[in-house]
Amino acid sequence: MTKAVGNVNGELNEHLSARSWSDLAEVDQAMRDLDGTPNKARLGANALIGTSMALVRALAASVAAEGHSTGLGDEGGFAPKLAEPEEVLQVIVNAIDDAGYPTGRQGVGIALDPAASEFFSDGGYKVNGQQLSSDDMIARYAAMIDAFPIWSIEDGLGEQEPTGWQRLTAELGDRVQLVGDDKFCTSQLPSSAAATLAGCEQAAGRDGERERRSRRRPPGVRRLAGRSAPGHRRAAGTALPGR
């Protein structure tokens, strides 16, 4: 253990302090390269793993110092303490930029799954203390699409609002992929029929059923049911705060 501490305070510290690093994965690889053995025998696994864990904790402390929680949210996702949906999207875009990837159709896109049924009550949507109508939500999504590389919105409105879905599709259907899950997967109608009534582009299927619709799909979208947008190499997902 004394040897591991010496390696951390000595060779590892000197190597890692000599330059800046773009991300933790790069740091981990640099430490493995510095060790130069297949089993971390020269510097010691305790030294390398301990240093990596310390860096992760330091990063988490830095995030917390900015007022962001590092707890877990719905379905195991990280849940920074952010008030507005736009703040969440900005953090995601910053992370994409920090990782060295471009955003947009030639890079990384964002797929939203607000699950709006979960924060629909009293005829509207509760988002960070605000009561929003379906038209307010549609306008908010439109502004988000203008500002961020969003290519897909799943369950953007609640299952209680079929006419709202029709307006959502009319306003945004030519700009992004729109997917219905909460509403259509529990409907007594076949998914395709429910999607037609609500004006949605796609019903996400479960229990072996997957019915796809390409009605009013955005220009260039080739694959509505998948997780990659046209020209995007990968996609990031998020949900609205307030669920």
Q: Is residue 117 part of a domain?
A: yes
CB atoms within 10 A of CB 126: 15
Give the DSSP letter of residue 231.
T
Q: Is residue 243 part of a domain?
A: no
pLDDT digits over 110-160, tens only? 999 999 999 999 999 999 999 999 999 999 999 999 999 999 999 999 988
pLDDT digits over 25-75, tens only? 888 899 999 999 998 889 999 899 999 888 877 777 766 766 666 666 665
Is the pLDDT assigned to residue 205 strictly greater than 70? no
Give the whole-number percent of the chain exceeding pLDDT 70: 66
Both 76 and 48 in one domain: the answer is no
Q: Which of 10, 32, 65 is the last residue of a domain?
A: 65
pLDDT class of 204 with cuts at 50, 70, 90 = low
Structure tokens at 124: 């509207």
Both 131 and 162 in one domain: the answer is yes
Integer angstrom CA distances of residue 212 from 78, 146, 204, 243: 30, 26, 7, 27
Both 167 and 201 in one domain: the answer is yes
pLDDT: which is higher, 7 or 196: 7
Gap between the Cα atoms of 198 and 18, Å rounded: 59
Are 212 and 57 in contact by the 8 Å Cβ rule? The answer is: no
Q: Is residue 227 part of a domain?
A: yes
pLDDT class of 239 with cuts at 50, 70, 90 = very low
pLDDT the model gives residue 75 = 59
Amino acid in position 56: V
pLDDT the model gives residue 100 = 79
pLDDT the model gives residue 77 = 58
pLDDT: which is higher, 199 or 219: 199
The single residue listed with the structure tokens 């992929």 is 177
pLDDT the model gives residue 116 = 93
Q: Is residue 76 part of a domain?
A: yes
Q: Which of 40, 65, 90 is the last residue of a domain?
A: 65
Query: From the CA atom positions of the chain, what is the Rg in Å?
Result: 23
> Chain-wide mean pLDDT for the chain?
76
Question: Which residue range(s) make up the domain with 47?
Answer: 2-65
pLDDT the model gives residue 219 = 41
pLDDT: which is higher, 211 or 203: 203
Gap between the Cα atoms of 50 and 45, Å rounded: 8
State the pTM of this model: 0.58
Specify burial of residue 38 (Cβ count, 10 A radius: 0-12, 13-18, 19+): exposed
Both 53 and 162 in one domain: the answer is no
| Count of structural domains within the chain | 2
Structure tokens at 13: 């510290």
Both 143 and 97 in one domain: the answer is yes
Are 122 and 63 in contact by the 8 Å Cβ rule? The answer is: no
Helix, strand and coil in the chain, % to nearest 5: 40, 15, 45
CATH number, domain at 81?
Answer: 3.20.20.120
Q: Is residue 121 part of a domain?
A: yes
